[in-house]
Structure 1
Amino acid sequence: MGMIAFVVRLKSRAHFILQGKTGANAAAFIGAAERRKRDARQRLTILIAGFAVMYLAIGARLVQYGTAEPIVAGSIHFGDNAVASRPDILDRNGELLATDINTVSLYAEPRRIVDADEVVEKLATVLHDLDWGETYKKLRSGSAFQWLRRQLTPRQQSDILALGLPGIGFRPEKRRFYPGGVSASHIVGHVNIDNLGLAGMERYIDQQGYADLRAAGLTNDTRLEPVRLSIDVRVQHIVREVAARAMKDYQAEAAGAVILDVETGEVIAMASVPDYDPNQPSRTLPDGTVDKEYEKGWFNRISNATFEMGSTFKSFTLAMGLDAEKITLNSVVDASRPIHMGGFTIRDFKGKNRPLTIPEVFQYSSNIGTAAVADKVGIEGHREFLTRLGLLSKMETEMPGVAMPTQPKTWKKINSVTISFGHGVATTPLQTAAAAAALINGGSLINPTFLPRSKDQAASISRAVIKEKTSADMRYLYTWNGLKGSGRAAQVEGFNVGGKTGTADKVINGRYASDINFNAFVAGFPMDKPKFVVLTIIDAPKTGVHGGRTAASTAAPMTKEIIARTAALLGVMPRFGSEDSQELLVNY
């Protein structure tokens, strides 16, 4: 109260002083007061104007942020091709093998994240396997854009939307879906997280220009024309099932099979196990590392690997001798004693120790007799013939990653001898099947294809590699072995199956292992007019039918089951008895 009274007294005294002023002194006093008031008003006006300009700038900036495109649109540098469609993949009958489905992916704009801890905690309630540390690091990065999770389910998207998290958004994407799962994984292949083909026919599609169009932004969400393959998904499922069961039952490292149309070169089915699910091309272990064992299933042993095909090569050696007219089906070769050459001794597995006719050489799978035929043709003729059949060069087909055959740098006599019965040259099972098809289809080599091909189209690209008479002789030999030799294990009543087994010692660290086999069986049916070649392989089996480990006990039974279950689907009907005989049916 004392202070207030003091201020009142001062104001009253100033008033009395002002009243006492007269003349120039009073005017000066009043002018100074007015100037102070005017200056104060100016300063206040400037201050208000400054605040007004500042708030107008902030308001304009907020309006700009509200109407501008999200930062994410310019930060990931995808155009419309980010949701571009891939063409569907169909089998020869129009059954779906691969298609696109719409999905969304979760992203964050770290610059707009207010509380990274809260965002991580809430996202973890929906994404239970969320990496807290990595996600927190992304949210605190201060960048414009970060992927948090690709390809969410609709339920996950709905639950995250319900969390109402600022700075979190979704981007529409495409996800590849394979209805058949593992069935045709090595043929169809798979794509990566960005829907780009990595393997199989998916990669082939990209190599035909799709990847370039997408990179240039010339693709969109419009459905593309489907890509139809030559395979029959019904047959494919059976072939894969047989290979998988054989691998398990025979305790083998791997197994596989292929069916080839001998008139068109179309691959009707091809399977290699172990395989993988293209819907999940890789798997993560509980400790967060990638499952390398699972990824080994990517390896396609039918077209992407080479093997010494063993005694199946005797088919080509005898065909070579017949085509060069060095032998006939009536020829006899001496197989009475082993061959000693270059420090090696070549003997028969179960030798007859006597001269053999050519059908007997094939029937008993005589290494000595086959080597004698190769010697009649000569080293250069031998190499030229295998080259003519496409067994020494890289196979031409649509499947990416086809392996290159291996052969000696310099062919010597010992090389020609061992190659004659399937040791010393490694080829892919698929090109072995294609070469075998040429032996029985009249002599025309047709590159295998995974796309539909008519007989006329095949005729325009095929090339004659052996005489028609040689092909007829080979059909006889295959039939003979199917009835009397190792091919009996693959015989299916009514389908006239002919073929040749191949049991090769497996190469381990550059040396042949006497107790580990790589087995194969190549067959044609029906042999009176061949339509299909079936080739089966099984790698390092520990057992087989009746405990045997040879091809006759492993690969041949696989071929038998495949033909028995697929022949009707392939349009081959069984025939019993002679076509010339007429059965009289009497109704009693």
Structure 2
Amino acid sequence: MIRTPLRPLARILEARAKGENPDTIERENIRIRHEQMRDHARQRAEGRLLVLGLFFVIAFGIVGARMGLLATSEPMEPRAEAPGARIHASRADIVDRQGRLLATNFETHSLYAQPPQMIDPVQAAQGLARIFPDLEAEDLLEDFTSKRKFIWIKRKISPEQMQAVHDIGDPGLLFGSRDMRLYPNGRLAAHIMGGASYGREGVHAAEVIGVAGVEKYFDDYLRDPANGNAPLELSLDLTVQAAAERVLQGGMKLMNAKGATSILMDIYTGEVLSVVSLPSFDPNNRPRPATKGDASDSPLFNRSVQGVYELGSTFKIFTVAQAMDLGLANPGTLVDTKGPLRWGKFRIRDFRNYGDRLTVSKIIEKSSNIGTARLAQQIGTDRQRAFLKKLGMLEATDFEIVEAGTGKPLLPKNWSELSTMTISYGHGLSTSPMHLAAGYAAIANGGLKVQPTILKQDGPRLGERVFSEATTAAARKMLRRVVTDGTASFGDVAGYAVGGKTGTADKPRPQGGYYEDKVIATFASIFPSHDPRYVLIVTLDEPVDTISDEPRRTAGWTAVPVAAEMIKRVAPLLGLRPSVEPVELTDISLEQN
């Protein structure tokens, strides 16, 4: 604001020249200045009142919105939070496809001591040693009589242990409430659950974090409050998983195997309804990882995805299917099986002498290495490699557990023609049983690639085409004949028309070469073969059937009976009713008289 002089000299001189009173000019300027000051003060007051009014409107709006939100929300009991407990410990549940609980949180307590508040350290140390056998009274007493003001004793204790510590009655022994991860089914689906542990810890709270399996893979989702604690829904079926584990455990013992794994997959959605790896563990008391020796000896080792093996003759159906897709053969094409097949200094032989020629269908039925290798020669290295890559056999699977990323297939350093021939019947390329399940699912569903998943799906999840429908139809008939007339005769289950392929591969030595008396036995099956719904893979590590006088290690004697028993148990649980397999009428002609 520009201040005008009260007695401007020019006007004063002019007024005196006219004979007017100069004081009138001063009084007039004082009046004008006061009016300006009054107008400015009024404008400032009006602005302040407007701002204050807006503040009250916004404040009452927020209060009203909060009251409306509380009025429409579900009522709940108030929970008092411990001062300073800023560690977020909430974690969503994990359930199976039917909503049955697989993992949840359990409220427990931690135990700690404050030595300055203790009355009788000796009695407290002796009492704790009786309650917790893994603690030493001497070590506790040394800590209690030191200058330390805080001592962790147990990160989590049971209600019974808490009551026993209460009974000691020492005020220096204190408790802090916290959550722990609980797996109510114990060992069931342990390798899928993986397990959880504590991250950041405080006296009254602890950060629960996943350490393996789906717990670690979906750790961000399970810990995110924005999900509203919505449970993570898996594709597993708890009853099917329990039956599969029981059968596989019994089969592993009966066949004297070192380890075993099985995978049951829906061929259209890729959902894994059951996956078992033995030996197993209890995720409630997860053992420490092995620091030496063979990793596969540890119960933490997940054979379904981490175990990469030469899966033997189960690969033959892929070779035959590719040859038929390329127009190089059909089920009735005769192939030279006279042996041995020579390639340089190497010899490829069959388990038995099957004659000089076999049809392609008989090559699968009899499991001829020579016949499969000759088809692979016609296919060629480049086409074989491109086909296996398209099928997903050359990269780790995207199965949603952290261990799956470590199961990368072992490829030959030099993919020569010899490698092409041996890979055609499952040697020279090591993959996981999960890879094999995905490959057989493509054959069973009509030729479309399927991605294995542990998450519940709303419907089919089919990928690109890898086989023609005509090829897969012919391949399924061959797999069925393997069971009815071939190497998997023990795999037939009345009412479920099982089709499949056996595979027996010599187990490699760590230092190179192969064991003469140790094998990996696998049976890859589909059922029902005339209207496929599921793929089942059963793999046994170092099995040997000692029931007869001569030990038997081949898959037909070891893995196949176990798979058949598993199908017999789980098929009714899957809602499959036994049915009569349709019979094709052949060599019948209609004549009219």
TM-score by length of 2: 0.78
CA distance in 2, matches of 1:515, 1:291: 21
Aligned match of 2:445 in 441, 444, 464?
441
Aligned match of 1:357 in 356, 359, 362?
359
Farther-moved stretch of structure 1 (126-135 vs 360-369): 126-135
Give the 5 Å matches for 1:17-416: 79-81=86-88, 84-113=89-118, 116-193=121-198, 195-206=208-219, 208-210=220-222, 224-282=229-287, 296-402=298-404, 403-416=407-420
Partner of 1:466: 467
Aligned match of 1:522 in 515, 524, 547?
524
The 1:297–1:353 alpha-carbon spacing in structure 2 relative to 1, beyond 3 Å, is same
Q: What CA deviation, in whole Å up to 9, does each residue of 1:199-243 have, x standing for no partner?
A: 11111221x3445x5xxxx79xx9821111101111101111111
TM-fit CA distance, 1:566: 0.9
CA distance in 2, matches of 1:315, 1:544: 30
Contact kept, 8 Å, 2:119 with 2:170, in 1: the verdict is no
Displaced runs of 4+ in structure 1, greater than 6 A?
289-295
- Structure exhibiting the larger radius of gyration computed from Cα positions: 1
Identity of aligned residues (%): 36
CA distance in 1, matches of 2:482, 2:297: 39
The 1:532–1:553 alpha-carbon spacing in structure 2 relative to 1, beyond 3 Å, is same
Q: Secondary structure at the residue paired with 1:574? A: coil
CA distance in 1, matches of 2:432, 2:244: 18
The 1:130–1:263 alpha-carbon spacing in structure 2 relative to 1, beyond 3 Å, is same
Contact kept, 8 Å, 1:390 with 1:431, in 2: the verdict is yes
| Structure 1 residue 418 corresponds to structure 2 residue 419 | no
Partner of 2:435: 431
Equivalent residue pairs, number: 490
CA distance in 2, matches of 1:118, 1:395: 57
Query: In structure 1, what residue type is equivalent to 2:411?
Result: Q
List alignment gaps of at least 5 residues for structure 2: 1-81, 200-207, 586-593
TM-fit CA distance, 1:267: 0.1
TM-fit CA distance, 1:128: 3.8
Contact kept, 8 Å, 2:248 with 2:566, in 1: the verdict is no
TM-fit CA distance, 1:115: 5.3
CA distance in 2, matches of 1:385, 1:567: 32
TM-fit CA distance, 1:290: 13
TM-fit CA distance, 1:193: 4.5
Contact kept, 8 Å, 1:338 with 1:345, in 2: the verdict is yes
Contact kept, 8 Å, 1:362 with 1:481, in 2: the verdict is yes
Q: Secondary structure at the residue paired with 2:270? A: coil
Query: In structure 2, what residue type is equivalent to 1:145?
Result: F
CA distance in 2, matches of 1:385, 1:307: 19
Partner of 1:491: 492
TM-fit CA distance, 1:383: 0.7
Partner of 1:500: 501
The 1:174–1:397 alpha-carbon spacing in structure 2 relative to 1, beyond 3 Å, is same
The 1:404–1:577 alpha-carbon spacing in structure 2 relative to 1, beyond 3 Å, is closer
Q: Secondary structure at the residue paired with 2:190? A: helix
TM-fit CA distance, 1:143: 3.6
CA distance in 1, matches of 2:228, 2:140: 35
CA distance in 1, matches of 2:102, 2:357: 54
Partner of 1:482: 483
Q: Secondary structure at the residue paired with 2:215? A: helix
Contact kept, 8 Å, 1:283 with 1:290, in 2: the verdict is no
Aligned match of 1:512 in 497, 511, 514?
514
TM-fit CA distance, 1:488: 1.7
Query: In structure 1, what residue type is equivalent to 2:150?
Result: F
CA distance in 2, matches of 1:471, 1:420: 17
The 1:469–1:294 alpha-carbon spacing in structure 2 relative to 1, beyond 3 Å, is closer
CA distance in 1, matches of 2:133, 2:425: 58
Contact kept, 8 Å, 2:502 with 2:560, in 1: the verdict is yes
List alignment gaps of at least 5 residues for structure 1: 1-71, 582-588
TM-fit CA distance, 1:301: 0.1
TM-score by length of 1: 0.79
The 1:393–1:294 alpha-carbon spacing in structure 2 relative to 1, beyond 3 Å, is closer
CA distance in 2, matches of 1:544, 1:199: 37
CA distance in 2, matches of 1:539, 1:254: 5
Contact kept, 8 Å, 2:337 with 2:355, in 1: the verdict is yes
Query: In structure 2, what residue type is equivalent to 1:95?
Result: R
CA distance in 2, matches of 1:531, 1:324: 27
CA RMSD of aligned residues (A): 2.6
TM-fit CA distance, 1:578: 4.3
